[in-house]
Amino acid sequence: MIHRPFHRGGSRLGLALVVLLATAAAGWAHGDLHERIANLTRMLDQDPARAELWLERAELRRQDGELVEALADAGQAARWKRDWPPVFLERARILFDQEQWEPALAAAGDCLDREPENVDARVIRALCRARLGHPDPAIADLDVVLQGPQRPRPDLYLERARWQAQLGRWGDAVAGLDEGLRRLGETPSLAFPALEYQRSGGDFEGALARLETLRRFMSPESLLATRGEILVEAGRAAEAAALFRQALAQLDDAAAGPSPPKDVPALRARLLAGIEKADESALANP
């Protein structure tokens, strides 16, 4: 069973997409967007054959949530520059925002046919493929992106690992996250999921070793609780029970001190549940 403290509500992916797909104009405030759109409209009234202006307005409208109007503007840009790769990319962005996965996939593919090195188009294609239930080619697309020379975002490593885990490829998921850690340096947002995938894949010794590298990101009690939970999963119930009891005593001492840990009730409940589970496991497997 996979543990998922880092996949809640799908918000991480939504944030990743906003950061990844937005252009430099994304920093404008809502009012600035409207002012810029109005200015572009005046310019287009004077010179409607400028494809780059249609495309710029399409992107601003996409950012403002005017997706139907944005798609129409992209169509106008295509009218003047029919095989221009940025037009296909913009269409892919807009269609993705509309959750039209198949048309967005086709538009991203059209962009890549003309510009194979376009990273944004490849990421959109990967995300569309995953949503359409084709994780293998989605993984292959992210492999290309993450092996490129640009500094990748941690979110893409996480997405690829999630798709690999859905296929039961726990080792690949861990290896991919470790690749990200080598490239990006110490990144807890990658290291903690790697720990969970190791647990889910049954690599308990690897998980215990990784846990030690995460010590400074955890409270002592949480570290002991996690170690105990891994030991239970590894079939070392008696050892785990002793560790949970040690952690509980340590928590009680800390709670009575001048600087008690945060979330003492939640930690206490977690440790008591761990003791109960470890004791049950020890009785069932003497």
Residue count of the chain, please give it.
Answer: 286
Taking the C-alpha atoms of residue 45 and residue 66, their distance in angstroms, rounded to an integer, is 20
1 Cβ partners below 8 Å, 6+ apart?
A: 200
Tell me the pLDDT band of 260, cut-offs 50, 70 and 90: confident
Q: Which of residues 220 and 196 earns the better pLDDT score? A: 196
- Whether 238 shows a pLDDT value over 60: the answer reads yes
Pick the CATH number of 1-150 from 3.40.50.1220, 3.10.350.10, 1.25.40.10, 1.20.120.850: 1.25.40.10
- pLDDT at position 30: 54
Nearest CA-CA partner of 96 in 87, 108, 104? 104
Share of the chain above pLDDT 70, in %: 89
In which residue are the tokens 């001048």 written? 258
- pLDDT at position 179: 97
With beta carbons less than 8 A apart as the criterion, state whether 20 and 142 touch.
no
Kindly report which listed range (26-35, 149-158, 177-186, 231-240) carries the lowest average pLDDT score.
Answer: 26-35
- pLDDT at position 40: 95
Kindly report which listed range (9-13, 73-77, 241-245, 255-259) carries the lowest average pLDDT score.
Answer: 9-13
Taking the C-alpha atoms of residue 53 and residue 21, their distance in angstroms, rounded to an integer, is 19
Taking the C-alpha atoms of residue 215 and residue 223, their distance in angstroms, rounded to an integer, is 7
- Whether 11 shows a pLDDT value over 80: the answer reads no
Global confidence as pTM: 0.82
User: Which residue ranges make up each domain of the chain?
Assistant: 1-150, 218-286
Nearest CA-CA partner of 90 in 55, 41, 130, 135? 55
User: Please, how many CA atoms are within 13 Å of residue 259, restricted to the half-sphere of its CB?
Assistant: 1
With beta carbons less than 8 A apart as the criterion, state whether 119 and 88 touch.
no
- pLDDT at position 14: 39
pLDDT in tens, 80-133: 999 999 999 999 999 999 999 999 999 999 999 999 999 999 999 999 999 999
- pLDDT at position 262: 82
- pLDDT at position 22: 43
- Which class for 115: exposed (0-12), middle (13-18), buried (19 or more C-beta within 10 A)? middle
Sign, CA dihedral 149-151-155-158, equals positive
Q: If you average pLDDT over residues 162-167, what whole number do you get?
A: 97
